[in-house]
Copies of this chain bind each other. A is one copy, B any other.
Amino acid sequence: MTNPFIRKLEYGAQLSEEDRRQLEAFCRDPRAFPAHVDLVSEGDKPRSVHLVMEGYACRYKILPDGRRQIMALFVPGDICDLHVQILGEMDHSIGTLTECSIVEVGAEAVDDLIRNPRINRALWWSTLVDEGTLREWLVSMGQRDAAEQMAHIFCEVYTRLKAVGQAEDGRFRSPVTQEEMADLMGLTPVHVNRTLKLLREQGLIELDGKWVVIPHFERLRQCGGFDPNYLHLKDRNASKAEGLQEVPAS
């Protein structure tokens, strides 16, 4: 099982072999995108739905004066805009950060998935986790200083990547520039650089080319005050008990 989408959804519901086949079919035919291009732009009428299979993408907004805020990071297995067709127009943009392999499908294909109650439950789960992640980012921006925030986000990204088999033990690829990290954390590139240096000096992270190395996760976790509960990755067993129970259409 190397399909990150299926791996991710397994955390949200107990899937059958048949469910997995259905999801596999859904992911057939990903398309390659270069780095730094928009998949959807603010103001667009939403049409297709995007699922990241490889690479990193993000959700962002640009203010009239050019300031940019990244509001979500998408890693393999993440769906960017499930259900957004309900809204008349996009209030933000979605773009790639790196080269990406992306499944782009129409609303009908999503509807097919959603008719499967276990998959529906899993997709709802992923929507709620996305919201929880956004909330945690808000907490980081509001209450944590730059070092805490950076440690927190490294912990989160590592945990999310690990969950879908996209991180090695204690290290993950991060071809993200410091300027992009700045847009993500609401800081200046200069301060991102200094903060990275600080974390390096404290031995909390190491940067090895395009890899981020976490020599001692527990120390980094503590620095950022990271508590993975908001990712809800441990619920699978809890939901196994009621895993076959139908989630009401919603």
Q: Which A residues lie at the B interface, using CB under 8 A?
A: 12, 59, 61, 63-64, 67-69, 71-72, 83-84, 86-89, 91-92, 110-111, 114-115, 120-121, 123-125, 128, 131-132, 134-135, 137-139, 141-143, 185-186, 225, 229-230, 232, 234-235, 238-239, 247-250
Contacts and interface: CB of A to CB of B under 8 A. Distances in A.
Per CB-CB distance, the 3 closest pairs between chain A and chain B, nearest first, are A142-B186, A249-B249, A88-B235
A71 B250 contact: no
A183 B104 CA distance: 40
A176 to B, nearest CB: 16
Nearest to A123: B250
A239 B61 contact: no
A87 B239 CA distance: 9
A131 B186 CA distance: 19
Given A88-B234, A250-B250, 6 more contacts: A61-B135, A69-B139, A91-B132, A92-B230, A131-B131, A249-B250
Contact of A128 (B12, B83, B247): B83
Contacts of A84: 128
Contacts of A92: 132, 135, 230
B250 A114 contact: yes
A124 B67 contact: no
Contact of A142 (B83, B121, B185, B232): B185
B135 A86 contact: no
29 contacts: A12-B86, A61-B139, A63-B225, A64-B225, A67-B143, A69-B138, A69-B139, A69-B142, A71-B138, A83-B128, A84-B128, A86-B128, A89-B229, A91-B230, A92-B230, A114-B249, A115-B248, A115-B249, A120-B249, A120-B250, A131-B134, A134-B135, A134-B138, A138-B138, A141-B142, A141-B186, A142-B186, A143-B186, A249-B250
Contacts of A68: 143
A87 B225 CA distance: 22
A59 B234 CA distance: 23
Nearest to A249: B249
B132 A134 contact: no
